A and B are shown apart, each in its own frame.
Chain A
Amino acid sequence: MSAVKMLSYIKRDSPVHHLNGVTKLITFLAWTIVCMLSYDTRVLLAAMVLSIVIFRLAKIHLKEVGFVLAFIFFFLLLNDAAIYVFSPEEGVKIYGTRHLIFQISDRYTLTQEQLFYLFNVTLKYLTVVPIALLFLLTTDPSEFAASLTGIGVPYRISYAVSITLRYIADIQTDFHNISQAQQARGVDLSKKTGLKKRISGISIIAVPLIFSSLDRIDLISNAMDLRGFGKKEKRTWYRARPFQVMDYCVIGSVLFLSIIGLFITFSDGQRFFNPFLG
């Protein structure tokens, strides 16, 4: 089997696991929105520290997510390098001042502004990671559909998401079987073959996978129709849980912090925090 690992729900007994799915979804969305809007280093740092604290509370071990973190760091470094190559003085443009550290060539200079800008870009991408990871690792997929309906998504669409989560594993198994069968028939998928051969190789796997999935769609939708799916305007969820006091507290504080974060960010009329002025 290919060694690609996927993040999924880890069942454990922690305060974060006990929270309602709706609470966690709202937290995740609020966090994402604030971190997308804000470019304020202070807000981002505070969010980062807070999310690490929450991460500790959830009793998720670092080694369980280590492979993803390594991947993210690698991606972010690559991204920073790409930004530098394309625009070595982007930071100067944004912050409006120029503190030269040293010069490599006419075009490639190293400035404090650029370093600070790259630090902020990385931070901005990174700040969402712990909360997104937590949301993924501590929310039971069966409860997730109920949570989506809880924040106002039409239940037919929540149901589609729930079908996706349910069938990822099955389709992965299908993929694995098809791939093994085609390799047994002599299809070479390794890196040794040329590009053209590999394209035909992947379509040989993709076509059976796609068409068996179309059969699956017919089968499942017939079964759902027979059971009367979608006849009513509302439905209940087996996994939905009532709100606890803790849920209200968490939602309240998340919304409060988000507003404060946005207020601090935009208090000077722009989204960047500029330490070079003043």
Chain B
Amino acid sequence: MEQELRELYQEVILDHNKSPRNFRAIEHPTNFAEGYNPLCGDNINIFLIVNDEGIIEDISFQGSGCAISKASASLMTSILKGKTIEEAENVFEKFHELVTDKLGDNPNIDDLGKLAVFAGVREFPARVKCASLAWHTMINALHNKKEKAVTE
């Protein structure tokens, strides 16, 4: 496989695509939002249970999408569980800067932990939306926005 492709489709991503974590609905979420990418028809629903202290007690997703969007949603749910809303927003910003190449040539991806596997997306501008759909939807859910998150 070519280098750029291998960086895009890392083992972690392929694994999360094949067996996504937290891939289920939450029956009575405190926060919920639908995300949609009109370009490819991908849709992702995000469910959250946020407690009174503002901590994400549970987070899950459902929907259909490509390997990048599914793995991104899967990893996102794994990472955000137990985080506060503020922390979640900070991770989102870091992640967004990573995939949109705002961190420059030598991004300090250590802070991002497992999310660093998405660094390869920078080389594929057409796929940035795939990686960020779940995140935009999560932010909308946290703010309980009624309108769908749309990546276009």
Q: Are both chains from one complex?
A: no
